[in-house]
Structure 1
Amino acid sequence: MECMEDCLMSKQNFPFLFFSIEMLRTFAAKRLQGAALRGIRQLPQIRLLSAVPADVPDEIFKKRNIGISAHVDSGKTTLTERILFYTGRINAIHDVKGKDGVGAKMDSMDLEREKGITIQSAATFCEWGDNHVNIIDTPGHVDFTIEVERALRVLDGGVLVLCGVSGVQSQSLTVDRQMKRYNVPRVAFINKLDRTGSNPDKVIEDLKERLKLNAAAVQIPIGLEGEHRGVIDLVREKMLIFEGDMGEIINEQEIPDDMKSLVEEKRMELIEKVGDVDEEIGEIFLMEEIPSIEVLQAGIRRSTIKCEFVPVFMGSAFKNKGVQPLLDGVIDYLPAPHEKKNVALDLDNDEAEVEVTCSSTAPLIALAFKLEEGKFGQLTYMRVYQGTLKRGGFITNVNTGKKIKVPRIVRMHSDDMQEIEEAGAGEVVAMFGIDCSSMDSFSDGTANLAMTSMFVPEPVMSLAITMDKNSNQANFGKALAKFGKEDPTLRISTDPISKQTILSGMGELHLEVYIERMKREYDVHVEVGQPSVNYKETITTKTAFNYVHKKQTGGSGQYAKVIGYIEPLEDLEDDDEKREEQFEFDNQVIGTNIPPEFVPSCEKGARDSMEKGGLIGCEVQNMRVALTDGQSHAVDSSDMAFRICMSAAVREAMKKATPQILEPIMKLEVVAPQEFQGTIVSGLNRRMGLIQSSDITEDASVEIVADMPLANMFGYSTDLRSITQGKGEFTMEYFDHMPVTRDIQADLIKKHLEEKN
């Protein structure tokens, strides 16, 4: 309290703080009394950066929307469980794997508690000091990457959790790409510093080298492995020791003499890294001066919000160390809703970008980013970007034009709900009884503005499923409809030959979870066929086409002629946008041999031909179609004629362009005790894997990274457990589609012809 009084006496350093000393004493006494009632959990200090600028509403500035993301088993849900405990949202900490019979609050699904993994992202909210924090805990497995994608699409900031032993892992790379895709500012938290072999310096180097981030520690650990007791705050230059049964008591001390030189070195490194991207801190650094605590904090905040700097926090969530300072860092360095730039598309003005104001009095703009079928009907998770969403009010689905009355609005706390009357700008809430699709935009009807959608990866694996005779056909249909609506990466189709239902997804675990959910939630038992891989086709040589389509059946017929060529897209200039689309149409027609109004139909026809290749009937990618000339008829030419003609022309040309089958290649990461290294490598070689690296980690484990054909990955989890005595684990994510060998291509074509006949 004395320190706070000294600070407040200096008005020039704290222009935004207008509390009287008596008000602060009263406020602190009430807070301490509340802390005692909740089990003496130490409440946060009043942070310098929580002061509210005059032109920003208090409820907006003191709000944070964050997601917690990481590689699988890095401690995301464990961290969230501690955050909820320290903020008073839960009264006891429970085991993530559900061994205590309760399980973590955010893993509300029975399947999640049994497997000890997060399958669905879960939302909650809490109060830290006088700040409101909305949190979404996301899965780590790549099979459920869409849950991370949709969360990062709507959140303002993120916490990237890293293992103190393994550092940056395969899924860390994926999460980093997702954060960069949506310009999400983040802080990093190096977890598990209590484990043998933990090395935070190596993890920070990984952040710089592998993720290309401008990162620096804002803390250094006090002891590692079994000696880990706390952290030293480099910004405030204080030592924090976590005591008590649950780490609820923070003992703040001065830095001991034997650590002062290390603290000074690391603090100068922090100032230098921030100074590289922040002009004010850079000038102070060049003048060989030391910035004050307030100036350094402000510089870190500015740089973090611009996505130019990543402050790194440290601790051990499982051992209840370092969580409270991380929460302070979320408030201090991650943006409030008005500080993250968001744009909407004006549908009345050729989708021109319009910046969202984040004002609760502006016209409503909201986005439905997640759907979930609950016992009360469809639960729609909404992010309100501007305006106010009111219970009983009317909103318009911008995508469908349908006007809807809002029946109920709730704040989610995992699977618990708290009803509210309205939600203002910057809120993350849920609604009941709204029939819509994921990524639909909503307005109050005064403006035709829509938010941009999200990136949805293509599925890489399929299963043929047949319903058990004793199961309910109606429930089977309901389950498929519900799951398909919830998860954009789950594709449901019917095989035209066998009439089997084909379930396509991101991996074995992804599909296994949905089959298990059918059984548990709908009492539908299915028989599962052999998993199949989503192959694709491409061409390897440039080939010309000259094709005429004529059809006369009495009256006006159909006539079209197209001339041009096709060529592999990868042989052209390396253009990321074209590569992402996997197709390019080039209109080189001069004159009116093909009237301009028929050119779009030619492009549609070319795209039609990409749906099925000539080898095994898979989607074609990496192809450029150029239209150079043609011919039309004054009466018989039409859009349909040119579309059919172009589609047939490209299909004929593809047969002569040395077509090739592509298979999905996965980036595989295997971690196991070092004594099994030789056995693992030989097993990967037998499965045609290409070893990229093999490293010994700090805890004497071997970490092997390999590129592996997905077709050779079936049953690998069983094999790995067998050869490593259950001590090995692996993760994989989609890397690319690559050409198969000639013998495999011949076998695939033969199999396709047999199934066709």
Structure 2
Amino acid sequence: MRTDTTTTTTTVRNLGILAHVDAGKTTLTERFLYATGATYKRGEVHDGTTVTDFDPQERDRGITIFAAAVSCTWDSHRINLIDTPGHVDFSDEVERSLRVLDGAVAVFDAVAGVEPQSESVWRQADRHGVPRIAFVNKMDRVGADLDTAVASLRDRLHVVPLVVQLPIGREDGFTGVVDLVRMRALVWGGGAEPGSFETGDVPGALLEEALRRRRLLEEQVAELHPAALEEYCATSALSAATLSAALRDLTRGGEGVVVLCGSAYRDRAVEPLLDAVVAYLPSPADVPPVRGTGTGRDGGVEERRADPSVPFAALAFKVNATATGRLTCLRVYSGTLRKGDTVLDATAGRTERIGRILRVQADRHTEVDEAVAGDIVAVVGLKSARSGSTLCAPGAPLVLEPPAVAAPVVSVAVEAKTGTEIGRLASALGRLVEEDPSLTVRTDRETGQTLLSGMGELHLEVAVEKIRRSHGLLVDVGRPRVAYRETVARGVSGLVYRHVKQDGGAGQFAHVVIDVEPFDGGGEVAGPGDGGGGRAGDGALVFRSVVVGGRVPQEYVRAVEAGCRDALAEGPLGGHPVTGVRVTLTDGATHSKDSSEMAFRAAGRFALREALRACAMDLLEPVAEVVVTVPDEAVGGVLGDLAARRGRVCGSAVRAGTTAITASVPLAELFGYASRLRSRSQGRGTFTARPTGYAPVPETVRARVLPA
């Protein structure tokens, strides 16, 4: 055990644990805390005694639901660690965590390799540019194979795996690893203390294989790293120091992924992983300065480096309402925050006072006097800050990019059992949305019901159960419903709309002519009046103007686009949001006195609504990629059930007496699938599902979904 309380920005590691469900994230986190002396007893998921899975629902279900932050020290470095959920329904928790992390450990099952959610969280980390190292866990399982798991990393994640360890023993006989960088053996299980290990020479039976793998590692690194290549060409080998430095550079640059292996449950190879975290993953001082937008008139991009002496800037990434008060979790990017400071919530435009600063240990907290650049802490006293809010020094305002929030795909109706609890239910729902931005609450305009929307069936189950447990409310819940979308199948051209209004005062006049057509795509799309390049879109609307001669001024073009976006909220088929539309403003006219941005915004809104009613429209439903793993003898029944659910099988893979079936299935057909799968596979089948997009609804289903 190596600990130290003296830290600087360069000796901090802000780290996330990423993985598929049941790969061993929480167990690994527990072993980190135990190995570093942060805890004195190892918690177990199956016993409900883990530090990070402290919520009663997490302990009941045996899975991580809420991202939890803990802190520990190793080799004079402080590690701020976030244990993230592995279930796809809680991917928004992973997204918010990745936004504030500098590095991550991706955990993979030594038998299953890269699983569907492993791939999803890996792509999320790619988008945020978070450097990673890989840990192949459960090397003690029957069928565990490091080489097969590494091959799945290469094939499915398209990375360059740099394997720095060789396992000693197989399956239940796994006792340690050979460190290929320093060419030494680390063997566990010989001491009285769990996790104690001995260092020695490489076993003779493994020496030849270890030398071969060391040579392969040197060749891989030399191909990727110029300094290593120079030494390799000169000496035909790499020293341990050169190899370690090159691995650090390749990891932080994203050019390679260092791969280690072990068994977290048996406390084997956890310490070398901690050493790798310190050696290879970046500190806050190693990452580029954070970039934000100034709040001045020019709104230019500003940078803040990880320096305690520069103006303060932090991003709120999680809000928790607890019995002791409202906790707001912050990543401090620059400057120093002290207890009692007044800070600016640049997102809301109001000042707040910091009551207390807490070092977070899951559901336990230690009060500190200050937090500096690179810290992850919680603060008490903020009233308006939400997840994604930027806090900064009042004299140096800055707005940081907030974490992206995915659109919900499933809804349920919730209502209080008694009329006297309606107000309490509204308050509880408001607090839920405040804590979890991926949840939304709205009132159905036709039925008057309160609809709670989220990322999946389990997500909503957890949210409703939280209302019942935390707020003591009895609620009725309707059957889950998916979030449909509408899109244009065949467009219209030359639709003319004149907005003329006279009410005794200043009038309103706007004349627009638009073309509407389908658009299949997203990302960078064209903006108004810029000739086809220019603004970031979400795939719902692509808008451009081809008006010439100044017939519609630029500010009115922007107003027309804003009006068109307003019109996308409700489509003509069933009032569902509209997506995949390309609108071209082809002509228009103004009035010298009565035209205004408000008039052209109204014209854009009404024109597109009228155009959509004239278009041929398609109804879209969310589709999920489902991976079902069942015993070989149950494959036939599972395939038949998937076909009955309108599933389309995309492939299958056979391994160790089981078959993994990959299929594309409408999300609406997956409600209750878990219990059906258990009955068809005698309780031995498992499945994962992740939303992959939208697809047209067949006519037979469309007639059932749309109102008569």
Q: Do the aligned partners of residues 529 and 363 (structure 1) sit closer, same or farther apart at CA in structure 2, a change above 3 Å counting? A: same
Q: What is the CA distance between 1:488 and its match in structure 2?
A: 0.8
Matching of residue 568 in structure 1 with residue 518 in structure 2? yes
Residue 540 of structure 1 corresponds to which residue in structure 2? 489
Q: Give the distance between the partners of 1:504 and 1:91, measured in 2 at CA.
A: 41
Amino acid at match of 1:140: G
The alpha-carbon deviation at position 675 of structure 1 amounts to: 2.0
Is 1:166–2:112 an aligned residue pair? Answer: yes
Q: Which residue of 1 aligns with 2:132?
A: 186
**TM-score normalised according to structure 1 size:** 0.89
Distance (Å, rounded) in 2 between the aligned partners of 1:573 and 1:377: 40
Q: Look up the match of 2:256.
A: 309
User: How far off is 1:354 after superposition?
Assistant: 2.8
What is the aligned partner in structure 1 of residue 182 from structure 2? 236
Q: Which amino acid aligns with 1:116?
A: G
What is the correspondence of 1:699-738 to structure 2 with a 5 Å cutoff? 699-738=656-695
Partners of 1:709 and 1:281 in 2: CA distance: 50
Q: What residue is the counterpart of 2:88 in the other structure?
A: 142
Task: State the Cα distance separating 1:573 from its structure 2 match.
Answer: 11
CA change 1:553–1:430 in 2 (3 A) is closer
Instruction: Identify which of 608, 630, 633 aligns with 1:675.
Output: 633
2:229 is matched with: 282
The alignment partner of 1:210 has SS state of helix
Letter aligned with residue 713 of structure 1: L
The offset of 1:555, in angstroms, is: 4.8
C-alpha distance in 1, partners of 2:537/2:636? 38
Q: Which moved more, 1:153-162 or 1:561-570?
A: 561-570
More displaced stretch, 139-148 vs 275-284:
275-284
**Kept in 1: contact 2:353–2:381 (CA 8 A):** no
Q: Which residue of 1 aligns with 2:551?
A: 593
The alpha-carbon distance between structure 1 residues 555 and 365, as it changes in their structure 2 partners (threshold 3 A), is closer
- For 1:117 and 1:410, how far apart are their aligned partners in 2? 26
Q: Report the secondary structure of 1:90's partner residue.
A: coil
Structure 1 window deviating more from structure 2 (429-438 vs 343-352): it is: 343-352
Q: How does 1:235-384 map to 2 (within 5 A)?
A: 235-243=181-189, 244=191, 247-287=194-234, 289-341=236-288, 342-348=290-296, 350-384=298-332
Shift in CA distance, 660/571, structure 1 to aligned 2, threshold 3 Å: same
Q: Contact 2:7–2:78 at 8 Å: present in 1 too?
A: no
- Name the amino acid aligned to 1:219: Q
Deviations 1:543-590 (A, max 9, x none): 211222333444544332211211112289996986634311101110
* 1: CA distance, partners of 2:231 / 2:615: 63
Looking at structure 2, the residues matched to 188 and 479 of structure 1 have their Cα atoms a distance apart, in angstroms, of: 40
Moved more, 290-299 or 249-258: 249-258
Aligned residue number for residue 389 of structure 1: 337
The DSSP-based 3-state class of the residue aligned with 1:176 is: helix
- How big is the shift at 1:619? 0.8
**Which one is further off, 437-446 or 186-195?**
437-446
Quote how far apart the aligned CAs of 1:353 are. 3.0
1:424 paired residue among 372, 377, 391: 372
CA contact (8 A) 1:158 1:187 kept: yes
1:580 aligned onto 2:530: no
Residue equivalent to 2:60? 114
Counterpart-to-counterpart distance in 2, 1:573 and 1:473: 41
| Corresponding position of 1:153 | 99
Structure 1 match to 2:39: 90
What's 2:165 paired with? 219
C-alpha distance in 1 between matches for 2:681 and 2:515: 53
Q: Is the 8 A contact 1:121 1:147 kept in 2?
A: yes
Query: How far apart in 2 are the matches of 1:547 and 1:224?
Result: 74
> Does residue 1:645 correspond to 2:593, yes or no?
no
Judging changes above 3 Å, is the alpha-carbon distance between structure 1 residues 632 and 351 closer, same or farther for their aligned structure 2 residues? closer
**Secondary structure, in 3 states, of the residue corresponding to 1:472?**
helix
Name the structure 2 match of 1:500.
Answer: 449
Distance 1:254 1:665 in 2: 54
| Other structure's SS at 2:692 match | strand
In structure 1, distance between residues paired with 2:419 and 2:171 = 55
Which amino acid letter does the alignment assign opposite residue 101 of structure 2? L
Shift of 1:336: 1.0
Aligned to 1:105: 51
Residues 67 and 646 (structure 1), Cα distance of their counterparts in 2 relative to 1, 3 Å cut: same
Aligned to 1:207: 153
Structure 2 vs 1, CA of residues 519 and 228 (structure 1 numbering), >3 Å: closer, same or farther? same
The 1-side partners of 2:274 and 2:111 are apart by: 23
In structure 2, distance between residues paired with 1:521 and 1:704: 39
Q: Percent identity?
A: 38
Structure 2: gaps spanning 5 or more residues = 527-534
2:588 matched residue in structure 1: 630
Structure 1 gaps, min length 5: 1-41, 47-56
Higher alpha-carbon deviation: 483-492 or 404-413: 404-413
Shift in Å, 1:275: 2.5
Question: SS of the counterpart of 2:99?
Answer: helix
For 1:246 and 1:672, how far apart are their aligned partners in 2? 39
1:60-98 Cα distance to aligned partner (Å, 9 max, x none): 221111010101111000100111111111111122032
Report the Cα offset of residue 268 of structure 1. 2.2
In the alignment, is the contact (CA less than 8 A) between 1:127 and 1:133 conserved in 2? yes
Farther-moved stretch of structure 1 (344-353 vs 396-405): 344-353
Matched-pair contact (CA < 8 Å) for 1:579–1:622: no
AA in 1 matched with 2:118: S
Q: What is the DSSP-based 3-state SS (H/G/I as helix, E as strand, rest coil) of the residue aligned with 1:263?
A: helix
SS of residue matched to 1:149: helix
601 and 693 in structure 1: CA distance in 2 versus 1, 3 angstrom threshold: same
Q: Deviations over 1:106-129 (max 9, x none)?
A: 111111111101111111111112
The verdict on how the C-alpha distance between 1:582 and 1:285 changes in structure 2, with shifts beyond 3 A counting, is farther
Partner of 1:400: 348
Say if 1:578 and 1:584, in contact at 8 Å, map to a contact too: no
Partner amino acid, structure 1, of 2:541: F
Between the aligned partners of 1:407 and 1:555, the Cα distance in structure 2 is 52
CA distance in 2: counterparts of 1:245 and 1:75, whole angstroms: 24
Match of 2:530 in 1: none
Letter of the aligned partner of 1:491 in structure 2?
A: T
Once the 2 structures are TM-superposed, how far is the Cα of residue 687 of structure 1 from its aligned partner?
0.5
Does the 8 Å contact 1:215/1:273 carry over to 2?
no
1:67 alignment partner in structure 2: 16
CA contact 1:304–1:310 (8 Å) conserved in 2: yes
Partner secondary structure for residue 329 of structure 2? strand
Code of the aligned partner of 2:8: E
TM-score, normalization by structure 2 = 0.95
Between 548-557 and 601-610, report the one with greater CA deviation. 548-557
Residue 414 of structure 1 deviates from its aligned partner by 1.1
Partner of 2:628, secondary structure, is: strand
**Cα distance, 1:635 vs structure 2:** 3.4
Q: Aligned partners of 2:514, 2:525: CA distance in 1, in Å?
A: 22
Report the CA distance shift for 1:222/1:539 in structure 2 as closer, same or farther (over 3 A): same
Check the 8 A contact 2:195/2:266 in 1, yes or no. Answer: no
Residue matched to 2:75: 129
In the TM superposition, what whole-angstrom CA distance separates every residue of 1:146-170 from its partner, at most 9, and x where no partner exists?
Answer: 1111111101110000111111111
Partner of residue 415 from structure 1, selected from 354, 357, 363? 363
- Residues 225 and 376 (structure 1), Cα distance of their counterparts in 2 relative to 1, 3 Å cut: same
The Cα shift of 1:656 comes to 3.1
What letter corresponds to residue 305 of structure 1 in structure 2? Answer: R
Contact 1:89 1:126 in 2 (8 A): yes
How far apart, CA to CA, are the structure 2 residues paired with 1:530 and 1:417?
Answer: 39
